[in-house]
């Protein structure tokens, strides 16, 4: 039995792996979160027999997966839900998060909106990686916790953003370990200062960006919140708290390099103390 201990969101997750292949898959996806062994808040046993992968969490029925990609997808979904239960105080947004200095921004998009691809590309332009899927926000401080699961791309990125040789390929995508992100990893909480709502437009020749109101941003953010009902006002107050304190933009992506340049230029030129007002054009 191989044991893997993950540390994230100030909680410890112990995963007992029955054989080497599942351990290898989990290490590829979650290895950056590996921490010291100790009392676990969450405990899994995973493995593979001749027909399937399985995931067993204490007190729950066994989850079965036909292949490696499905195995990781099921594990991702389960651990995301369990972490939300363990950290009900945090506001979980389905988002990629990157940082510059001590400032973080979220990339929020519907499925297929290109969030991970833009995140991967931005990592080549000096931005540090904080998360690809979960943006857990501390509502008191508006700081985001790192959730450094490997970035997952459903398709190959453009040739000018090549994948590293260490990329793990599964039936559902390509997993790039946090340690292999070209811009490095943000290891600590970072203050959320901007939110970009990303939409890919295949017809657009150039990317475009516009500042949006806190109300519009709250509506968009709420739609991508994972644990809204754990918070007062059915989570709406928290969404508003975030969007009234950050600069919010609607970003239509097109050419990937141009999209990165537009986002980087917008973010880096936000006045440090006046990001919110700047976005609204005041």
Partner 1 sequence: MAKHPTRRSDITARLVEGEMVVLDRERDLVHQLNLTATFIWQRCDGQCTGEEIARQLVEAFDIDSRTAEASVGLALQQFERLGLLERA
CB 278, min distance to partner 1, A: 15
Backbone angles phi, psi at 59, to 5 degrees: 80, 5
Q: Determine the distance from the C-alpha atom of residue 68 to the mean position of all C-alpha atoms in its chain, rounded to a whole number.
A: 20
The residues near 41 (Cβ < 8 Å, ≥ 6 apart) are 11, 12, 13, 86
Q: Which is nearer to partner 1, 79 or 93 (CB)?
A: 93
Q: Which is nearer to partner 1, 164 or 233 (CB)?
A: 233
Cβ(82)–Cβ(58) below 8 Å = no
CB 191, min distance to partner 1, A: 21
Q: Which is nearer to partner 1, 19 or 234 (CB)?
A: 234
CB 15, min distance to partner 1, A: 34
Structure tokens at 176: 């790039």
CB 201, min distance to partner 1, A: 21
Q: Which is nearer to partner 1, 75 or 222 (CB)?
A: 222
CB 216, min distance to partner 1, A: 5
CA contacts within 13 A on the Cβ side of 266: 26
- Measure the CA angle with vertex 110, ends 267 and 28; round to 5°: 85
Residues that bind partner 1 (CB under 8 A): 213-216, 218-219, 222-223, 233-234, 236-237, 240, 243-244
Strand boundaries in 151-237, DSSP class E: 151-153, 168-170, 173-176, 190-200, 208-211
Cβ(68)–Cβ(169) below 8 Å = no
Rounded (10°) CA dihedral 99, 161, 111, 150: -60
CB 200, min distance to partner 1, A: 22
Q: Which is nearer to partner 1, 115 or 220 (CB)?
A: 220
Cβ(121)–Cβ(256) below 8 Å = yes
Q: Which is nearer to partner 1, 32 or 241 (CB)?
A: 241
């Amino acid at each position: 039995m191989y044991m893997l201990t993950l540390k994230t969101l100030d909680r410890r997750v112990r995963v007992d792996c029955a054989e080497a292949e599942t351990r290898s898959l989990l290490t590829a996806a979650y290895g950056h979160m590996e921490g010291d062994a100790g009392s676990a808040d969450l405990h899994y046993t995973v493995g593979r027999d001749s027909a399937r992968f399985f995931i067993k969490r204490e007190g729950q029925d066994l989850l079965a997966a036909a292949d490696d990609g499905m195995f990781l997808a099921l594990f991702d979904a389960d651990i995301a839900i369990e972490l939300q239960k363990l950290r009900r105080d945090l506001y979980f947004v389905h988002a990629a998060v990157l940082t510059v200095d001590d400032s973080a921004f979220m990339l929020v998009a519907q499925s297929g909106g290109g969030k991970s691809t833009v995140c991967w590309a931005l990592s080549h332009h000096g931005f540090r990686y904080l998360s690809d899927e979960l943006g857990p926000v501390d509502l008191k401080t508006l700081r985001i916790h790192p959730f450094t699961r490997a970035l997952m791309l459903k398709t190959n990125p453009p040739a000018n953003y090549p994948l590293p040789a260490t990329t793990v390929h599964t039936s559902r995508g390509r997993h790039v370990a946090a340690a292999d992100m070209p811009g490095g990893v943000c290891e600590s909480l970072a203050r959320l200062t901007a939110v970009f709502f990303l939409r890919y437009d295949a017809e657009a020749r150039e990317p475009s960006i516009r500042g949006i109101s806190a109300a519009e941003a709250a509506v968009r953010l709420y739609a991508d919140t994972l644990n809204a009902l754990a918070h007062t006002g059915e989570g709406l107050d928290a969404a508003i708290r975030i969007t009234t304190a950050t600069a919010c933009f609607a970003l239509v992506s097109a050419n990937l390099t141009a999209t990165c340049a537009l986002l980087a230029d917008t973010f880096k030129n936000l006045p440090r103390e006046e990001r919110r007002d700047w976005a609204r054009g005041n």
